[in-house]
Amino acid sequence: MLSLHHCNTSWASTISPLSNQTQAVVGVANVGHSDNLTNRSAKNPAVAGLSMTLGVLSNIIALFILAKAYTRLRRRSKATFLLFASSLVATDLAGHIIPGAVVLHFYSNSIGTSPPTHADATCQFLGGSMVFFGLCPLFLGSAMAAERCLGVTQPLLHARLVSGTRTKMALVLIWLAALAVALLPAVRLGEYTYQHPGTWCFIRVLGKTKDTDVAFLLLFSAFGLGSLAMSLVCNTISGITLVRARLRRRNCHRRTAKSHDIEMVAQLLGIMITSCICWSPLLIFGLMSVTNGHSSHCQKDDMYYKKLMVMGVRLASCNQILDPWVYILLRRAVLRKIYQLTTGQTDMRGSTFRRWEISSLQSSEKKNTIKRI
């Protein structure tokens, strides 16, 4: 990582002019070589194509597994979670195909070598897609965490309030909210522009930033970080509740920790951790960049923040690849196989997994009875 350069270096020029000039020549050569390597890797279409292909295949596999599970468990308490998870994976799939196709179009037209100075309609569409498909997974993750928190802490209230129709209404509201934020530049709040190295578009964070650009980026980051914080709080409460239920079961010999609750909370924790790792850098780097761009016009600083934004968007794109694998690998069937391999047990009759499955089925039937009443 290159160190942060400051525009005001007059204090150092009075100490050793010859030494400083020599160091400056060496520094420019090193930075130029590093920039060339970065630009070559950033403008390589094979990387973008491979990422898009891997993401599409991963989401298709997860979507097939989720659709099969939803058909089988339509009348059980896990159906709401599966509907949310299916919507998340479908959104990630669309988030790979639509922006990915535009990025590959940029590569094919060699836009990265000489990006336009002003954002055209394609850039506006890609920037809006980046915001929309960035907020949707974060909103869906927080909604899933809140739904599971209610289901774990207040199961009877959850059975009365949560239904398939209300879940679908919540999904529509989430998508509309993300779309409303993405369309804010249409009402002159913020602007989308080409980003370094010219192969993607996002909110203007560097250059001639305006107060509206700062406000738009602050709104986007606030929604993103707020969703991550909400997921953290809800998943923490759910996890603590399940651990306490497990301890009560050991002391009172009661089956209070249900397998489907443990499975869903484990998946939510995986999704939350993945989202935090992948999305936090872009949200934070965006805030840093727009603050620097609004208060300073140092070209060296601009290149530093441009590289930070490229790093952030690459990590964010990994989230759509990892989300489906979190669900695929943290399913009960996979965990059961891992349990068998690590313990050497082939008969699951007396195991914890088998006891949890029986109690989970009984819990689901009880909740269905409450809904019918």
Residue 18 falls within a domain, yes or no?
no
Give the model confidence (pLDDT) of 161-205 as tens digits. 888 889 999 999 999 999 999 999 999 898 999 888 878 889 988
Asked if residue 142 lies in contact with residue 174, where contact means CB atoms within 8 angstroms, the answer is no
pLDDT over threshold 60, residue 353: no
Cα–Cα dist 247/310, whole Å? 46
Asked if residue 259 lies in contact with residue 174, where contact means CB atoms within 8 angstroms, the answer is no
| Range(s) of the domain holding residue 145 | 51-372
pLDDT over threshold 70, residue 65: yes
In this predicted structure, what is the pLDDT of residue 44?
62
User: How sure is the predictor about 158, in pLDDT bands with cuts at 50, 70 and 90?
Assistant: confident
Task: Please give the full DSSP string across 15-33, using - where no structure is assigned.
Answer: T-HHHHHHHHHHHHHHHHH
Task: Please give the full DSSP string across 267-285, using - where no structure is assigned.
Answer: HHHHHHHHHHHHHHHHHHH
In this predicted structure, what is the pLDDT of residue 347?
57
Token digits of residue 258: 């249900």
Cα–Cα dist 14/321, whole Å? 52
Q: Name the residue type at position 315.
A: L
Give the model confidence (pLDDT) of 271-308 as tens digits. 899 999 999 999 998 888 888 766 665 555 677 888 88
In this predicted structure, what is the pLDDT of residue 326?
86
Select the more confidently predicted residue: 172 or 62: 172
In this predicted structure, what is the pLDDT of residue 235?
92
Give the model confidence (pLDDT) of 85-138 as tens digits. 899 999 999 998 998 888 888 877 765 556 666 778 888 999 999 999 999 999
DSSP-derived 3-state class of residue 7: coil
Which residues face 200 on adjacent strands?
195
In this predicted structure, what is the pLDDT of residue 252?
57
Looking at residue 342, which CATH number applies to its domain? Answer: 1.20.1070.10
User: How sure is the predictor about 249, in pLDDT bands with cuts at 50, 70 and 90?
Assistant: low
Give the model confidence (pLDDT) of 321-351 as tens digits. 888 888 888 877 777 777 677 776 665 555 5
Which residue in the block uniquely carries the two structure tokens 């070589």? 33
pTM of the shown model: 0.76
In this predicted structure, what is the pLDDT of residue 184?
94
In this predicted structure, what is the pLDDT of residue 74?
59
Pick from 72, 91, 79, 71: nearest CA to 271: 91
Residue 33 falls within a domain, yes or no?
no
Give the model confidence (pLDDT) of 205-217 as tens digits. 887 788 898 999 9
In the predicted model, what is the mean pLDDT of the chain?
Answer: 76
User: How sure is the predictor about 367, in pLDDT bands with cuts at 50, 70 and 90?
Assistant: very low
Share of the chain above pLDDT 90, in %: 25
In this predicted structure, what is the pLDDT of residue 246?
75
In this predicted structure, what is the pLDDT of residue 185?
93
Residue 17 falls within a domain, yes or no?
no
Residue 8 falls within a domain, yes or no?
no
- Residues 199-209: b if buried by 16+ CB within 10 A, e if exposed: bbbbbbbbeeb
Cα–Cα dist 189/128, whole Å? 13
In this predicted structure, what is the pLDDT of residue 258?
61
DSSP-derived 3-state class of residue 90: helix
Which residue in the block uniquely carries the two structure tokens 């979670």? 81
Token digits of residue 270: 């995986």
> What is the signed CA dihedral for 343, 349, 355, 359, rounded to 10 degrees?
150
In this predicted structure, what is the pLDDT of residue 130?
93
Share of the chain above pLDDT 70, in %: 71
Cα–Cα dist 26/5, whole Å? 15
Residue 28 falls within a domain, yes or no?
no
Q: Name the residue type at position 212.
A: T
Cα–Cα dist 183/348, whole Å? 53
* Number of domains into which the chain is organized: 1
